[in-house]
Amino acid sequence: MEKTILILNTGGTLSSVMKENGLAPGLTTTDIQKELHMVSQGVNLEMQDFWSVDSANIFPEDWAALAGKIADIWQDYDGIVVIHGTDTMAYTSSMLSFMLLNISIPVVLTGSQLSMADPVADAMENLRCAIHFAATGCAGVYVAFNRKVMLGCRTSKVRSLSFDAFDSINYPEAARISSLGMRVNEAVLPRRSGVFHLENAYSDRVFLLKMFPGIHREILRSLAGAGYQGIYIEAYGMGGMPFLKHDFIAEIADLTAQGITVLVGTQCRYEGSTLSVYETGRRALEAGCLQAFDMTGEAALTKLMWVLGKTKDPQEIRDYFSVSLCSEVSVGVY
């Protein structure tokens, strides 16, 4: 029996056309559907336009709306493909992983580095991969790109021009297409831990702060004064932050005492952070920091937004960051 797959178009490069001010979303699902007969054999496709924007214009309220749309219609389909711009796709796929926790069908995001209007584009190959993975029945949220499928909460855009734009960070790929066909790595697929129901509340009072030599602790005071509820710090190496000339960590202790959540990860793309090795990290733990371990920056930030949308209780927040919800983190692995 043919699987029925829905394609939701949200815009991005894949559906872009050249306009007066440069490439901008312009192709509709009707335009796209005319091209898809070559890549959708054995699958019944339905298509809907959800919105049509460059992904730089997507905000948290759009994630909530997209998750709500999927929650409303998912039972009518065997899988859902979301066409999305590449620039913020990893943020969207990470947040959907939390908002659609325990969904029992595949939700696969894809896009392209060249518009499908370009004859040498990667668009159709990415759509082929996304459509056929969506037909596998492998539940969860994924990104399909350049003949590989990655968990949505483990995906980062690592190249700005190459067709191989995305990597699975600190985690094996969910599937790969080669001359042997599509090979699914079932051992790494997310495991459902309950019944699906939409959880698309979030806090947008979250800030991403990247450490650099010379950063002053007053920035933390200003963030607290501006009403931020959570701060994700991309620290050095395994989680290092200054505590001598400028005692950044002492300022963090003041924030956590005020009930502000401070999550610490690393600027390094691979291998993650641990705060228990060096003195600076141990001081951060004593100051009340939570650890991001091997999460991607996108997953760490969106998990913080999602958790703060569920609870403001410090112990409950700490509990959420002590477990893996959708294979987004290997807690305490290092």
Catalytic residues, which ones? Answer: 13, 86-87, 157, 278
Torsion 188-194-198-202 (CA) sign: negative
Residue 65 φ/ψ, nearest 5 degrees: -65, -40
Q: Find residue 27's DSSP bridge partners.
A: none
**Which residue do the tokens 């209007």 mark?**
117
Ramachandran class of 177: left when φ > 0, alpha when ψ lies in -120 to 50, beta otherwise = beta
Helix axes 297-310, 89-99, angle to 10 degrees: 40
Of the candidates 124, 175, 169, 168, the one whose C-alpha atom is nearest the C-alpha of residue 149 is: 175
Cα 217 from Cα 248, distance rounded (Å)? 5
Write out the two tokens for 52: 């049509």
Q: Which residue has the tokens 């000339």?
A: 245
d(CA 139, CA 101): 10
How is 19-78 classified by DSSP, letter by letter? ETTEEEE---HHHHHTTGGGT-TTEEEEEEEEEEE-GGG--HHHHHHHHHHHHHHGGG-S
- ∠ Cα 269 165 202 (to 5°): 65
DSSP-derived 3-state class of residue 209 = strand
Q: Tokens in use for 272?
A: 């993650």
Burial 176-189 (b: 16+ CB within 10 A, else e): bbeeeebebeeebb
Which amino acid is it at 29? T
Please state, in angstroms and rounded to a whole number, the distance separating the CA atoms of residues 324 and 24: 37
